[in-house]
Amino acid sequence: MIRVQLPAPLRRLTKTEGIVELEISTPVTQRKLLDALELRFPMLRGTTRDQQTKKRRAYVRFFACGEDLSDASPDAVLPQAVASGKELFLIVGALAGG
Amino acid sequence: MKGVRVLVGTKKGAFILTASKKRQSWKIDGPHFAGWEIYHMTGSPADPNRLYASQTSSWFGQVIQRSSDGGKTWETVGNEFKYKGEPGQHQWYDGSLRPWEFKRVWHLEPSLDDPDEVYAGVEDAALFRTKNGGKSWDELPGLRGHGSGPQWAPGAGGMCLHTILLDPSRPERMTIAISAAGVFRSEDRGKTWQPSNKGLVSLYIPDPKAEVGHCVHRIASHPDRPDVLFMQKHWDVMRSDDAGANWYEISGNLPTDFGFPIAVHAHDPETIYVVPIKSDSEHYPPDGKLRVYRSRSGGNEWKALTKGLPQKNCYVNVLRDAMSVDRHDPCGIYFGTTGGQVYASNDEGNSWQTIAGHLPAVLSVEVQTLS
């Protein structure tokens, strides 16, 4: 079970609180995680990545296990601790004022 | 309910203000979509319970919200705005060329007779339409493909398509405005477009009388007389009596002819309202006095309306989509400020009351007259 923490604006958009749990087949990648997230919450399409190019939005960051995975390949395998649900996959709005 | 529903979009959410026909006591509901910028929220003329809202964020992109119960509940609908064909290029601030890139929806204009049909004006400037209540959006590419695109440039707020006028007497006619490209008109329901800027003079572009490139801030018209258009330009208040084919200046005795919104009285097509702003670099009222100016003669002769508005130390702005009118008698006028106040007049502008005093900066104000 993958555990994902959404930023507050996306929690309000999805009407969720706390952590979102997703079932994803191994190997777990960022692309598969975001695909599963958007399948469950269609309103998230376009909010973390471009709907056409799938490129990450500029002010969205992905953190896990104390590392910034934002610029990792979407098809890179995520850390085992994320895949096992031990560690959260954090979707974060970049610090940019506001 | 009977009365008035005021739809307010702000920098940090949406608010719905309601009152009876007397328009004296107000209820504020919100924030909806808290923390997001609501560039525009509006209702369908064909079904007042059908509302649409443009919810946007520099972080998380564009969301479109739809309500079928007058704003009590909302659902997200389609948010993919994909330009048709090659995006093409437009001018950037430094004169270089940049490819078109979708940023946000500035304005939603529901069709006059179908609650599921809505036009969307977006940044970078283009016109989209849904025919299925927002599930999907298709560009009307004839506008962006007009051929003058490489001469279009962003205004300070971005290269936005902010005004969409539908002609109730000629469904095939549409008029739109882009900052900073100008006015374009279609006579075939948006398939093909022609610039409609003759008479505009803009000293901030190389050719002040160019066919395109003018920073039009807002256009308004009266539904009973759709050939008469009123414009608040970057500087100058303008009028056209031939649906935009020719424009002439009506700034007259205004203290400054810079500003953003312009509105037309619901029952008198010759009565119009503007909110003069000091200058293009000083976006606040002259002398710290918030004054709406009304002309009862279709322009040139203007009277300041001040009763109930702050007349000292006021340095807010009123943005282009933040002024609207209701259709009650006497006509009600509404506007919101970047300071978070929403002001209303239930007597054609003669006096004003603060109907919301401490909202986030107001981006848009629309009014529904409920009967």
For chain B, 371 residues long, give each residue's pLDDT as a single digit of tens. Answer: 689 999 999 999 999 999 999 999 999 999 999 999 999 999 999 999 999 999 999 999 999 999 999 999 999 999 999 999 988 999 998 889 999 999 999 999 999 999 999 999 999 999 999 999 999 999 999 999 888 988 899 988 899 999 999 999 999 999 999 999 999 999 999 999 999 999 999 998 999 999 999 999 999 999 999 999 999 999 999 999 999 999 999 999 999 999 999 999 999 999 999 999 999 999 999 999 999 999 999 999 999 999 999 999 999 999 999 999 999 999 999 999 999 999 999 999 999 999 999 999 999 999 999 98
Structure tokens at B150: 């490489």
Chain A CB within 8 Å of residue B101 CB: no
Chain A residues lying within 8 Å of B82, measured CB to CB: 51-52
Is B80 within 8 Å of A59 when comparing Cβ atoms? no
Sign of CA dihedral A66, A67, A73, A79: negative
- The answer to whether A42 faces chain B, any CB pair under 8 Å, is yes
Residue of A13, A59, A60 to mutate for B, most B C-beta atoms under 10 A = A13
The mean pLDDT of A67-82, rounded to a whole number, is 96
Residues of chain B numbered 43-82 and touching chain A (CB < 8 Å): 57-63, 76, 79-80, 82
**Mean pLDDT score of chain A:** 95
* CA angle (B63, B64, B65) in 5-degree steps: 120
- Taking an 8 Å cut-off on Cβ atoms, the answer to whether B62 and A46 are in contact is yes
> CA of A11, closest CA in chain B: separation in Å?
11
Is B300 within 8 Å of B319 (Cβ atoms)? no
For residue B12, give the chain A residue with the closest CA.
A98
Boundaries of every domain in chain A = 2-93
CB contact under 8 A, B59 and A13: no
Report pLDDT for B95: 87
Helices (H), chain B: 141-144
SS (H, E, C) B245-279: CCCEECCCCCCCCECCCEEECCCCCCCEEECCECC
Inter-chain touch B58–A52, beta carbons under 8 Å: no
Whether a cis peptide bond, with omega within 30° of 0, leads into A36 is no
DSSP letters for B308-353: TS--SS------TBSEEE--SSSPPEEEE-TTS-EEEESSTTSS-E
A2-93: which CATH architecture?
Roll (3.10)
Residues of B in contact with A93 (CB under 8 A): 59-60
Q: What is the pLDDT of residue B2?
A: 82
pLDDT tens per residue, range A2-39: 999 999 999 999 999 989 999 999 999 999 999 999 99
**A residues 1-20 near B, CB within 8 Å?**
7-10, 12-13
Longest pairwise C-alpha distance within chain B: 53
**What ranges in B137-228 are assigned the alpha helix state H?**
141-144
In chain A, which residues have their Cβ closer than 8 Å to the Cβ of B35?
Answer: 8-9, 12
Q: How far is CA B61 from CA A35, A90, B57, B143, in A?
A: 17, 18, 5, 24
DSSP state of A70: T
Sign of CA dihedral A76, A77, A78, A83: positive
Using an 8 Å CB-CB cutoff, list chain B residues near A48: 60
Q: Is the pLDDT of residue A98 over 90?
A: no
With beta carbons under 8 A apart, name residues in chain A contacting B58: 59, 96, 98
Torsion of CA B323, B325, B331, B333, to 10 degrees: -20
Q: How much is the pLDDT for B1?
A: 64
Nearest CA among B316, B310, B303 for reference residue B361:
B316
- What percent of chain A has a predicted confidence (pLDDT) above 70? 98
Q: Residue B214 gets which letter from DSSP?
A: B
pLDDT score of A97: 61
- Report whether B82 contacts B139 (CB < 8 A): yes
A97 touches chain B (CB under 8 A): no
Q: Which residue of B has its CA nearest to A42?
A: B76
> Which phi and psi angles does B83 have, rounded to 5°?
-65, 145
What is the nearest CA distance from A95 to chain B, expressed in angstroms?
Answer: 10
Res. A71: pLDDT tops 70: yes
Nearest to A43 among B57, B58, B76 (CB): B76
Query: Is B59–A43 a contact, with Cβ atoms under 8 angstroms apart?
Result: no
